[in-house]
Amino acid sequence: MILELNEDQKMIRDSARDFAEKFVAPVARQLDVTQEFPVDLIKQAGEMGFMGVAIPEQYGGSDMDYVSYVLMMEEISRHCASTGVILSVNNSLVCDPLLKYGTEEQKQKYLKPLAMGEKIGCYGLTEANSGSDCASMKTVAKKDGEGWIVNGSKIFITNGTNADTFIVFTSTDASLGNRGITAFIIERDMPGVSVIPMHGKMGIRASGLSELVFEDVKLTDEHRLGDFNKGFKVAMTTLDAGRIGIAAQALGIAKGCIAESVKYSKERAQFGKTISNFQGIQFMLADMHARYDSARLVTLKAAFLKDSGKNYSLYSSKAKILAAETATFASNKAVQIHGGYGYIKEYDVERFFRDARITEIYEGTTEIQKLVVSSTLIGR
Partner 1 sequence: MKFFVCCKQVPDVAMAFQIKDGELQKDDLNYVLNAYDASAVEESLVIKDAVSELDLSLVLMGAEKGKEALRKGLAMGANDAFHIEDDAFEGSDSHAAANVLEAFFKDKEYDAILCGKQSQDMDMGLTGGLLAEKLNIPYVTNAVGLEVNEEAKSILVTRQGDAGQEKVELSFPCIVSCSNDMNEPRIPSLRGIMQSKKKPMNKVSVADLGLATDAVGKSGSKSTLLSMDFPKARKAGEKFEGEASELVSTLIDKLTNEAKVL
Active site residues: 363
We find the least distance from the C-beta atom of residue 14 to partner 1, in angstroms, to be: 8
Q: How many CA atoms lie within 13 Å of 344's alpha carbon, on the beta-carbon side?
A: 4
We find the least distance from the C-beta atom of residue 250 to partner 1, in angstroms, to be: 23
Q: Which is nearer to partner 1, 3 or 378 (CB)?
A: 3
Q: Which is nearer to partner 1, 46 or 180 (CB)?
A: 46
Q: Which is nearer to partner 1, 53 or 251 (CB)?
A: 53
Measured between alpha carbons, how far is 204 from 197 in angstroms, rounded to an integer? 14
Q: Report CA-CA distances (Å) from 237 to 129, 240, 243, 260.
A: 22, 5, 10, 36
We find the least distance from the C-beta atom of residue 64 to partner 1, in angstroms, to be: 6
Per the CB < 8 A criterion, the answer to whether 92 and 245 are in contact is yes
We find the least distance from the C-beta atom of residue 17 to partner 1, in angstroms, to be: 9
Q: Which is nearer to partner 1, 116 or 167 (CB)?
A: 116
Q: Count Cβ neighbours within 10 Å for each residue of 215-225 and write b for 16 or more, e otherwise.
A: eebebeeebbb
We find the least distance from the C-beta atom of residue 157 to partner 1, in angstroms, to be: 27
With a CB cutoff of 8 Å and minimum separation 6, the contacts of 170 are 137, 139, 140, 141, 150, 152, 181, 182, 183, 184, 231
Q: Which is nearer to partner 1, 58 or 129 (CB)?
A: 58
We find the least distance from the C-beta atom of residue 23 to partner 1, in angstroms, to be: 9
With a CB cutoff of 8 Å and minimum separation 6, the contacts of 141 are 148, 149, 150, 170, 171, 172, 182, 184, 219
Measured between alpha carbons, how far is 265 from 94 in angstroms, rounded to an integer? 41
Neighbour tally for 369: CB within 10 Å: 23
- Which stretches does DSSP call E strand in the chain? 121-124, 140-144, 147-157, 165-171, 181-187, 193-197, 210-219, 224-225, 269-270, 273-274
Measured between alpha carbons, how far is 255 from 269 in angstroms, rounded to an integer? 23
Interface residues with partner 1 (CB under 8 A) are: 7-8, 10-12, 14-15, 18-19, 22, 47-50, 53, 57, 62-64, 68
